[in-house]
Copies of this chain bind each other. A is one copy, B any other.
């Protein structure tokens, strides 16, 4: 397989030039440009402007942002974290990564902090890549089970149809992705997998990122508007839903890109399994009721009133889709109540989306003994 998913990276540290490199996701799928980040401000801006996005990747970028800040000013640990925490309010990985950086670095002598920060950020990146690979392995087992049952019913020629929302692939993580990791592993394992890709308005991460990612790894996929999933599920065209998460509570409520809840409702109404795939760093053990407790980011009206794409002449431009002056509301995320979630796929295995399931997950986590409540 050309451009195998296992080799793809969206962020790396350039040792030679001592800078952070990231794919600029706002130019995909038409240009795969690599950005160089040299300063805290550049790292923060990359997150705010969504040049890097995806819950795990935001956390990793922020960790490198702390390093970039410390190497310019060894006294800037607290202030750098303050700048970075404000870039995106919903993804808990950001808070988690910054808490980990701060906890680890505050006891390090100032002259050594930058060097330690770089090692720590690199470690976060490597850990996330490993976690996503493990998520892929656990998810693969699930997909194999679902496919085996379908094969028994339909016989040869059966295809495993997965629906996903937004982008939770390697573009969003250290490697592999969360929701897409099981799909890539399924493809590598020879399963005939096909993915329904929600376009994911307003920013179209499905159309511009997920379809592009899957295309690069030759995973068969079909782009649909966000409105289509219910119809597909009613007609037996979806075998399982797999999404990522920006924050999952101790009760199993899954906060993810706006519109996820609607797909979970449709899956539930049609008895289709609905899984969220996420690393431990996405779990907010400090919150329970996702609908009430998770702050939902409100983003710019422009994202709704304008759509970016490529015109006939190959120029990337924005067009306005509503009359000037139209009032807009633009919530970035919604919360899928645990009762609609079949399970949570993590690097430690698959757990029920229940307080018990999450408790078990926590008890197995390496941080359980250290007592860190992130």
Chain A residues in the interface with B (C-beta under 8 A): 29-30, 196, 199-202, 204, 207-208, 211-212, 215, 220-232, 234-235, 257-259, 261-263, 265-266, 269, 291, 296, 304-312, 317-323, 325-331, 333-335
Contact = CB atoms under 8 A, between A and B. Distances in A.
Nearest to A166: B227
A225 B199 CA distance: 12
Nearest to A233: B261
A347 B230 CA distance: 29
Given A201-B199, A265-B269, A318-B311, A326 B227 contact: no
Contacts of A323: 29-30, 208, 211-212, 215
A291 B333 CA distance: 30
Contact of A310 (B221, B232, B259, B320): B320
Number of copies: 2
Contacts of A325: 215
B262 A230 contact: yes
Would you list the 10 A-B pairs with minimal beta carbon distance, nearest first? A227-B259, A309-B319, A29-B323, A231-B334, A265-B265, A230-B261, A201-B225, A262-B262, A207-B322, A309-B321
Contacts of A215: 323, 325-326
Contacts of A317: 311-312, 319
Nearest to A30: B323
Secondary structure type dominating chain A contacts: mixed
Given A201-B227, A234-B261, A307 B304 contact: no
Contacts of A322: 29, 199, 204, 207-208, 211-212, 223
Nearest to A165: B227
Contacts of A207: 304-305, 321-322, 326
Given A211-B326, A225-B226, A231-B331, 16 more contacts: A30-B323, A207-B304, A208-B321, A211-B323, A215-B323, A222-B328, A222-B329, A223-B328, A225-B330, A226-B259, A227-B262, A228-B331, A230-B334, A262-B266, A307-B319, A310-B319
Contacts of A200: 227
A272 to B, nearest CB: 13
Contacts of A305: 207, 223
A275 B181 CA distance: 41
Nearest to A269: B265
Contacts of A211: 322-323, 326
A266 B259 contact: no
A187 to B, nearest CB: 16
A207 B327 CA distance: 11
Contacts of A235: 291
A230 B262 CA distance: 6
Given A227-B201, A231-B334, A234-B291, A307 B329 contact: no
B223 A304 contact: yes
Contact of A309 (B263, B306, B329): B306
A199 B330 CA distance: 12
